[in-house]
Amino acid sequence: MEKFYQIWKKFGKNFEEGGKLSFLSSFYDAFDTFLFTPNTTAKRLGSQIHDGSDSKRTMILVVLALVPALLFGMFNVGYQHLLATGQIPCTGLTCELWWKAFGFGLLAVLPFIIVSYVTGLGIEFIVAQIKHEEVAEGFLVTGFIIPLIVPINTPLWMVAIATAFAVIFAKEVFGGTGYNIFNVALIARAFLFFAYPSHMTGDSVFVRTGGTWGWDSTMTAVDGFSGATPLGMLATSADANMLPVGFWTAFNGLIPGSVGETCGWAILLGACLLLCTGVASWKTMLSIFGTAALTAWLFNMFGPDTAAAHFPWYMHLVTGGLMFGAVFMATDPVTSARTECGKWIYGALIGFMVIVIRVLNPGYPEGMMLAILLGNTFAPLIDWCVVRVNINRRMKRA
């Protein structure tokens, strides 16, 4: 390792001012910090204000936390494909089919990850080069989340455009990583949602019935197949008491949905990592889940006579993007509220809005994206109010 570091540093001489590759210095910086910083650890003695962690290490932890959801998402993409094309026998999955599902999903999801990273990092590198700054690490997580929150049938060029739009207009114009008001990945999804609505909602976008890279391309969906998500069925249901899916089915996540959002336990596994390492705030998460459950329960009790309002409160928590959004997107330290009390209010706003949108707006079966973006908008105001209240209280006490 030490030897490699020496070679790397020697190679780095080329990128210094006046060196022959100096115009690529931000590339070198990026990889240098990516590989070797922070190369100090917190000292064992004395009191510490904070640990030796920096934003790069934080980002890597979030990426690690996302891995279970991604792996499961890949499997589920393949599984839904097999299900839709009628390849799964009634005896259940064989080992061979299991690998086929995973391989199919891997091939289907991998291009999304590549497109998202190439587009986003490309823009980051160009901007860093123009502004003569280091490449910020912010896109590491964003680029990983974008593939997880889009339907599997979204065309890749749309993902590229949405990523570019989000990186430029939601991040770079505000000053880059750490200055953005809105969650960048959600802006990418919101762009897709409003620009190409036919590819973001409906029955045919969440399950790939055709092939991937020519694999299984002769397959067609079996008769009576519907690729609707549970919330999608709910929104269009005429029967006010219909229950599209059971609790454990939804929690296990073998249902149609955006790539990474379906599986409860994969997301909770990531949540454990985030909470244990202190990267995400448990207050935000708890507040979102609590308020969403309460709001949904109130709709159960006193709501209008529609299928969405009758949908049990515990079901709301495990369907759609609520769990994924609450764990990975609402807790984004840049765009969420910073004050401890503010986190409760911020989470409550999101939890309340997501259920209101789901139940009361027939046009939008799912409201997590819009709820979090609204929460992002209000986060600075919430912080400001909390700080003001605190100052006033202490002024009175003085």
Partner 1 sequence: MALSKKSKEAFLGPLNVNNPVLVQILGICSALAVTVQLKPALVMGISVTLIVAMSNVVVSLIRKSIPTRIRIIIQLVVVAALVTIVSEVLKAFAYDVAMQLSVYLGLIITNCILMGRLEAYAMSNNAFDSLLDGLGNGFGYAWILVVVAFVRELLGSGKLLGYPVIPQWCYDHGYENCGMMLMPAMALILVGCIIWAHRAINDEKK
Enumerate binding residues for partner 1 (CB under 8 A). 155, 157-158, 161, 169, 173, 191, 194-197, 199
Q: Nearer to partner 1 by C-beta: 191 or 289?
A: 191
Q: Nearer to partner 1 by C-beta: 128 or 140?
A: 128
Q: Nearer to partner 1 by C-beta: 62 or 373?
A: 373
Q: Nearer to partner 1 by C-beta: 195 or 389?
A: 195
346 CB-near residues (< 8 Å, 6+ apart): 284, 287, 330, 336, 337, 375, 378, 379, 382
We find the least distance from the C-beta atom of residue 149 to partner 1, in angstroms, to be 17
We find the least distance from the C-beta atom of residue 130 to partner 1, in angstroms, to be 11
Nearest-CA neighbor of 322 among 280, 285, 294? Answer: 285
Report the distance separating Cα 108 and Cα 27, nearest Å. Answer: 29
We find the least distance from the C-beta atom of residue 84 to partner 1, in angstroms, to be 21
Structure tokens at 32: 């240098």
We find the least distance from the C-beta atom of residue 154 to partner 1, in angstroms, to be 11
Nearest-CA neighbor of 336 among 303, 376, 306, 293? Answer: 376
Q: Judge contact between 331 and 376, C-beta under 8 A.
A: no
Q: Nearer to partner 1 by C-beta: 135 or 187?
A: 187
Structure tokens at 134: 């280091």
Report the distance separating Cα 37 and Cα 49, nearest Å. Answer: 19
We find the least distance from the C-beta atom of residue 108 to partner 1, in angstroms, to be 16
We find the least distance from the C-beta atom of residue 50 to partner 1, in angstroms, to be 37
Q: Nearer to partner 1 by C-beta: 195 or 222?
A: 195
Q: Nearer to partner 1 by C-beta: 192 or 207?
A: 192
Residue 224, Cβ density class (10 Å: 0-12 exposed, 13-18 middle, ≥19 buried): exposed
CA-to-CA separations, 215 to 94, 100, 211, 236, in angstroms, rounded: 19, 10, 5, 33
We find the least distance from the C-beta atom of residue 131 to partner 1, in angstroms, to be 13
* Residue 171 burial (CB count, 10 A): 28
Long-range contacts of 86-95 (CB under 8 A, 24+ apart): 86/222, 87/219
Q: Nearer to partner 1 by C-beta: 169 or 225?
A: 169
List, in sequence order, the alpha helices (H) in 132-176.
Answer: 139-148, 156-165
What b-and-e string marks burial along 235-249, b requiring 16 or more CB atoms within 10 Å of the CB?
bebeeeeebbbeeee
We find the least distance from the C-beta atom of residue 208 to partner 1, in angstroms, to be 15
Report the distance separating Cα 168 and Cα 176, nearest Å. Answer: 9
